[in-house]
Amino acid sequence: MNTFSDSILLAAAGNNLWSGEVDPAYRGFGSQFGGWTAAALLKAIEIEPEAKGGPLSQSVLFIEAINEGPYEISTRLIRSGARLQFWRSELHQGGKCCAHAQVTMGVRRETTSFTDAVMPEVPPADTAGLGEWTPPAGFGTQYRSRWITPLPRSPDLDRSKPASSLVWQQDRAGRPLDILQLAAMADLAPPRVMWKREAVTGSSTVSMTTHFHATPEEIAVVGARPILSEVHCRRCEGGYFDHELKLWSPEGALLATSEQMAAFRD
């Protein structure tokens, strides 16, 4: 298996219809890892014969729990122009729509380019003494996480400070980065409520929007090396929280940004 994309196997099941089997290695708390789900929804569009360009953004609604076993993804091209395409994809299982995505594909061209966001100054991923912790769900074993900020359950964590984190994230199998892995890692962030409570807390992503900034060249340069995940919570209230996330290459290229709303229970 060469890339994360290769782990999501989809077979044509009709016009704009794809079938697959849920990968048990990416199970979450009672459902499939939302990052894997987002990647599967995106891949179904990428392999459509009419698709052109690369993904610019993806907005996913997580509607029903996804169980182990077969599933289908239907796709629909809403509009196609000279440079932009607008797609919809839906994952169905057991007669229910479990997840829905709106995806914008775009053909990039040479234009004025700049980045106002600045990568935080952090120690390299191989620095001795960085903490290691991943979510206790099955999908957590697929990644290696090296923590620059204190771990969510660390005695050094100051719970009066913002629920923010800086973590080097890496595919544990050593597969090189691809665009679908970026889609998955946009959801690889522990529940922000854990920064305020000592207990391990599960959460369920309700909605997530990811913007893809990386060029193919920047993704190729990363290879199998870790990328930096920068996450900041904005508000947690009433059983829900939202956070914003940035993914950075080791060289400081902004690869992707995302924001999500998630639900949790005390």
Query: How far is 186 from 56, CA to CA, in rounded Å?
Result: 14
Residue 113 in domain? no
Q: Which amino acid is at 261?
A: M
User: What is the C-alpha end-to-end distance of the chain, expressed in Å?
Assistant: 39
- Give CA–CA dist 48/77, Å, rounded: 9
pLDDT of residue 165: 96
How far is Cα of residue 250 from the mean position of the Cα atoms in its chain? 18
Tell me, what's the pLDDT at 1?
56
Asked if residue 160 belongs to a domain, the reply is yes
- Exposed, middle or buried: residue 207 (CB in 10 Å: 0-12, 13-18, 19+)? middle
Determine the Cα–Cα distance for residues 116 and 178; give it in Å rounded to an integer: 24
Query: Does the residue 180 lie in any domain?
Result: yes
62 assigned to some structural domain: yes
Gyration radius (Cα) of the chain, Å? 18
pTM: 0.96
- Other Cβ atoms less than 10 A from the Cβ of 108: the count is 11
Task: Please report whether residue 10 resides in a domain.
Answer: yes
Residue 155: the pLDDT is: 83
Give 79's strand partners.
Answer: 86
Has residue 237 been placed in a domain? yes
Residue from 25, 31, 67, 33 nearest 172 by CA: 25
Which CATH number is 26's domain given?
2.40.160.210
The candidate with the shortest Cα–Cα distance to 240, out of 205, 188, 209, is 205
Range of the domain at 10: 4-108+121-264
- Domain count for the chain, please give it: 1
Is 114 a domain residue? no
Within a domain: 187: yes
Longest dimension (CA), the chain: 55
pLDDT at 265: 85
DSSP state of 239: T
Count the neighbouring beta carbons within 10 Å of the beta carbon of residue 237.
7
Structure tokens at 236: 């947690």
pLDDT mean for each 10 residues of the chain (266 residues): 88 98 92 97 98 98 97 98 97 97 96 96 96 89 96 86 96 96 96 84 91 97 98 96 98 98 90
